Structure 1
Amino acid sequence: MRFVSLYYVLSVIIFFIDVSSSFEMKTWVARADLHADSSSLPAGTLIFTQADFLGSPVRVTGTLINLIPNTKYHGFHVHMFGLPNGEWNCSKAGDHWNPYSTIHGDRYDSIERRHVGDLGNIWSDQFGSAIIDFEDSIIQLHTTSSSSILDKSIVVHKDEDDLGRGMYSDSKITG
């Protein structure tokens, strides 16, 4: 079993994710248990699964809680650096994970038009919960891939991501 760490950040509230990756029945699985601001209060769980062949899509499922209720969108990204245990500062997570030096975009875009870490937007319901369930063909769990998200940070931003289509100077960089 391979142990890795990811982090989850929402505005100024930062969540630690304890993730383990295992190889069972020809599937890689990473489970991310989220905790609010280094406490034992649960903030949700994300499960990443991938068949054991390089290039297969990664399925991301889970539920996040304690988001701002009725929020149309929160940007959802993989960032460059994993943070050591107890480091709850999202500014230390670095930029969006972009090993191919591409422009910022949407998770539905090709790798030529998005960062590896661009996972689009999520939205919360009237209770501040978000259901996550999608497949992405760019991110990878395999450690031999340049697109591997292991040992990186997961960040959920307070604001909407413009997916690289905005009129702002940094739209093609951070959205």
Structure 2
Amino acid sequence: MIEIERKFLVKSNDYKSEARSKTRIVQGFLNTDPSRTVRVRIKGDTGFITVKGKSNASGTSRFEWEKEISVMEAESLLKLCEKGILDKYRYEIVIGNHVFEVDEFFGDNTGLTIAEVELKNEHEEFEKPNWLGVEVTGEVKYYNSQLSKNAFCAW
């Protein structure tokens, strides 16, 4: 239940030709307190509710609990969410032994593309594809919960 990931900006669209899947995600937040965010998500044809704890000092690790719910339940919960529903496409790309999740944002976050890679430990090595840009792990403004409140277009 501890999520370990690193986050990067994406500097080109080359990842699209390498993607094994592309899924639309719509998500909102019932709570954006950094100590405990509560997210509601519709990913493709499945709903989820997720609770995340506060990140460690480096921003790479934090508690995460997720439960699958019906799309109807997720749609109902999205109506209760704080202002700022996120809409994005997620691409999954296998690079070496890792899967990168690349999120291409729309709406008020159009122009922002972020890649995440989950790791087994904070110091695990991984192959970096040529489209991977600057690392933004631990930079709070790139958290989805913050993008819902302070969109990329306002930067």
TM tier, shorter chain?
Answer: 0.3 to 0.5
* Greater helix proportion: 2
* Greater strand proportion: 2
TM-score under structure 1 length normalisation:
0.33
Greater relative contact order (Cα 8 A, min sep 6): structure 1 or 2?
A: 2
TM-score under structure 2 length normalisation:
0.36
